[in-house]
Amino acid sequence: MKKWFGILVMGTALLFMLKNINKGKEEAEKIEVVQEVIEPSYEYNILLDSFHVTKGIVKSGQTMGEILYLNHIDHPEINSIVKKSKGIFDVRRVNAGKKYTVVCAADSTEKAQYFIYEIDATNYVVFDLRGEIEVYKGKKPVTVKLKTATGTIKSSLWMTMEEQKLSPKLTAELSTIYAWTIDFFKIQKGDGFRVYYEDKYIDGEYIGIGRILAAEFTHKGQDFYSFYYKENENFGDYYDDEGKTLRKAFLMAPVDYKRISSRYSKRRKHPVTGRWKGHFGTDYAAERGTPIWSTANGTIIAASYTKNNGNYVKVRHNGTYTTQYLHMSKIKPGIRKGVYVKQGEIIGYVGSTGLATGPHVCYRFWKHGKQVDPFKQKLPPGDPIKKENREAYMLAKDSLMQILMN
């Protein structure tokens, strides 16, 4: 009996082991081999997987030719690259401190196949050196995030913004929007602001603010609103909650600019000559080719070129006011002496002709024949939202107001 019991136990154990072995085999058969998928590596819209990539920063005194020569591009080819670049990018404007990328063949030659120079955080120029040389410009994709910020002023707008770690450009933009409405030298403790604006990123890295879309500034117990609205594709402006413009009879700026790089001053060190002298204009830095507008209705009294001013246009608006626009890359065809232009009409394009270090428009303003700072003039009010655009503006304003107040 014991013998049969022992055989039965052993048999049961053996069946259990065989069952587990078979189960293990079945599970093993179900295991799938998962291969890691490696995404192709693109930068500047170039597939880099099969190349050797080197990144660097232009050193002081270093030229593009020197960088290319170090990457096995000989002098005759460099000369061809310079010729091919004309009208697209001036290779003499490769500046110290700017980033560049050299894409080289992954073989014994290690010869450069592409050279990419970053003009700024967004724009770059590509030199395709494979076969027939090609030169073209590109833009990095920009991600825009919408942000709101509020603050109560304790001493100054600048200090309040800085304490909240907000961009200095946000301070400058806000003060520019309200330049005709609020005297920022007289703001006081207890004044405050709300602002709804764009933050821009490239490859996840913050590059600065975009446009302010709406703002509320409280000064001496009174609320001043501003809402950005484009009445036509040429330009937009800021209006209050009733559709009245915040500017006066002149546009706040002659161009859709990145920043004000230099203001009106009776004493400034010139960035090119190094001499101290008056700077009787306002410099608006913008991308080359950006349209320049006449800031008010008027008649062209000059559209020409001089050594210092470069390509420029001068407009007489009435018996009191005249404006001038310097350093254009080119004057718009048809803009010549005697032509009547309307406010916001394109008269030229941003450049750096004449005595200039980079692309911008120098905006000069005369009152009774004397150059003055336009931001310090008591000018007549500008036009409100046009009747045909009022309903669309009010809808846009109400939407922005709701965001601003939440």
Report the alpha-carbon angle 85-88-92, nearest 5. Answer: 60
pLDDT at 268: 44
- Look-up of token digits 């790089």: 261
Ranges of H-type helices in 279-325: none
**What are the backbone angles phi and psi of residue 4, rounded to the nearest 5°?**
-65, -35
Residue 60, token pair as written in the block: 């002081």
Which residues have CB under 8 Å from 139's CB, separation 6+? 122, 123, 124
Tell me the torsion sign for CA atoms 288, 294, 300, 301.
negative
Q: Tell me the C-alpha distance between 258 and 324, whole Å.
A: 20
Residue 355 CB neighbours (<10 A): 17
pLDDT at 8: 46
What length is written for the chain?
Answer: 406
**What are the backbone angles phi and psi of residue 25, rounded to the nearest 5°?**
-65, -40
Could you write out the DSSP letters of every residue in 174-188?
A: HHHHTTTT--TTS--
Q: Which CATH architecture has domain 250-379?
A: Distorted Sandwich (2.70)
Task: Mention the CATH class of domain 141-247+382-406.
Answer: alpha beta
pLDDT at 2: 46
Q: In DSSP terms, which residues pair with 295 in a beta bridge?
A: none
pLDDT at 49: 85
pLDDT at 264: 60
Which residue intervals of the chain bear CATH 2.70.70.10? 250-379
- Look-up of token digits 């013998």: 3
- Look-up of token digits 């010869």: 111
Low-confidence ranges of the chain (pLDDT < 70): 1-39, 234, 258-259, 261-279
Which residues have CB under 8 Å from 5's CB, separation 6+? none
Q: Which CATH architecture has domain 44-139?
A: Roll (3.10)
Q: Tell me the C-alpha distance between 256 and 19, whole Å.
A: 78
Three-state secondary structure call for residue 364: strand
Residue 92, token pair as written in the block: 């003499």
CB-side neighbour CA atoms (13 Å) of 12: 6
pLDDT at 20: 56
Which residue intervals of the chain bear CATH 3.10.450.350? 44-139, 141-247+382-406
pLDDT tens string 302-320: 999 999 899 999 999 999 9
pLDDT at 281: 85
